């Protein structure tokens, strides 16, 4: 077996985790100034403008024209809705907690694949689903207060927004596997961001800020759009192509590690033992449910 593809897969995996781990921090910096919907809309619009010339230069425009409806739907599920929800969430809870909740993507992915694709899990994966969802309940119970915080929003709504976003990612992964199994990563990445931009344009204009955003907010948006979205999604769809959707989704295991480090060092956030303990339960359940690890004899 040629070892080069394996090394390339691992490099993509680590790079994607580091980039997406930073996205929570940049979302917070932008959303606190612009609001959730304008942040999400500008993020995907910048990504689309960055990727479109690359798509045309590679000669992939005819492929996108042929499959634009399907790719745009992926953009709605994989970018527009979850980006808006996470931009809302990081305004009201820590970026570290948001990233830990994001790690449930493979958990929901296994559940969606079971219901939609009839990919029935074995005993080990079923136990993993139970453990993972138990960890989510514990985490939510310990962190999601119904009492409004300093931002005026109860943290429970931010937590629920994260969980809805992870469900969208899960549906998107199964949809991509079923309908876009061999599409070039650049086409899927570019088309999805164009579709997300169109979906968010109207809501973002309606909720646009009534002031000129700061230079720091524009800088955060630029990094979000070009690096955390444009470049990251090319890598992500390439990862799906090389390693399959189940393995690609497990990148969410590493994202919280990077996000927690960035949050503590750069944003001054605090990590509680309860967050770490519940996060460990969630990771264990997710690893079992996605087949990354198996119980003996199962």
Q: How confident is residue 6, by pLDDT bands cut at 50, 70 and 90?
A: low
- Domain-located, residue 175: yes
Whether 56 shows a pLDDT value over 90: the answer reads: yes
Q: How confident is residue 4, by pLDDT bands cut at 50, 70 and 90?
A: very low
Q: How many CB atoms lie within 10 A of CB 4?
A: 8
Q: What is the mean pLDDT of residues 242-262?
A: 79
**Which of 76-90, 110-124, 231-245, 280-294 has the largest mean confidence?**
76-90
Reported as a single tens digit per residue, the pLDDT across 159-200 is: 899 999 999 988 887 787 777 767 888 898 899 999 999 999
pLDDT at 179: 77
- Domain-located, residue 256: yes
Q: Which residue has the higher pLDDT, 123 or 198?
A: 198
Three-class DSSP category at 84: helix
Closest C-alpha to 198, from 82, 86, 73: 73
- Domain-located, residue 143: yes
Q: What is the percentage of the chain residues whose pLDDT exceeds 90? A: 40
Domain total in the chain: 1
Reported as a single tens digit per residue, the pLDDT across 20-39 is: 999 999 999 999 999 999 99
Q: What is the mean pLDDT of residues 123-143?
A: 74
- Domain-located, residue 44: yes
Q: State how far the Cα of 190 lies from the Cα of 184, in Å rounded to an integer.
A: 10
Total-model pTM: 0.83
- Domain-located, residue 13: no
Instruction: Provide the domain limits for residue 70.
Output: 22-206+215-289
- Domain-located, residue 167: yes
Q: What CA–CA distances, in Å, run from 104 to 118, 150, 213?
A: 20, 27, 33
- Domain-located, residue 59: yes
- Domain-located, residue 78: yes
């Amino acid at each position: 077996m040629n070892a080069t593809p394996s090394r390339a897969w691992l490099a993509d995996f680590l790079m994607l985790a580091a980039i997406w781990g930073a996205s929570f921090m940049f979302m917070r910096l932008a959303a606190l100034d612009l609001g959730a919907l304008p942040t999400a809309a500008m993020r995907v619009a910048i990504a689309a403008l960055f990727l479109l010339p690359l798509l045309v230069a590679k000669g992939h425009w005819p492929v996108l024209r042929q499959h634009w409806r399907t790719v745009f739907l992926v953009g709605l599920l994989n970018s527009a809705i979850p980006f808006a929800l996470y931009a809302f969430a990081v305004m009201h809870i820590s970026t570290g907690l948001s990233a830990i909740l994001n790690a449930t993507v493979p958990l929901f992915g296994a559940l969606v694949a079971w219901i939609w694709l009839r990919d029935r899990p074995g005993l080990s994966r079923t136990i993993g689903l139970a453990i993972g969802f138990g960890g989510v309940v514990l985490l939510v119970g310990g962190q999601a207060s119904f009492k409004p915080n300093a931002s005026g929003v109860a943290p429970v709504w931010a937590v629920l927004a994260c969980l809805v976003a992870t469900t969208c990612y899960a549906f998107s992964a199964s949809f991509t596997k079923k309908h876009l199994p061999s599409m070039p990563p650049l086409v899927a990445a570019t088309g999805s961001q164009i579709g997300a931009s169109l979906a968010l344009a109207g809501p973002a204009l309606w909720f646009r800020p009534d002031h000129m955003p700061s230079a720091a907010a524009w800088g955060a948006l630029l990094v979000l759009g070009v690096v955390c979205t444009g470049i990251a999604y090319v890598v992500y769809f390439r990862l799906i192509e090389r390693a399959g959707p189940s393995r690609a989704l497990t990148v969410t295991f590493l994202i919280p590690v990077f996000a927690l480090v960035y949050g503590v060092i750069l944003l001054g956030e605090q990590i509680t033992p309860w967050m770490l303990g519940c996060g460990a339960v969630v990771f264990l359940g997710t690893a079992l449910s996605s087949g990354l690890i198996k119980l003996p004899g199962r």
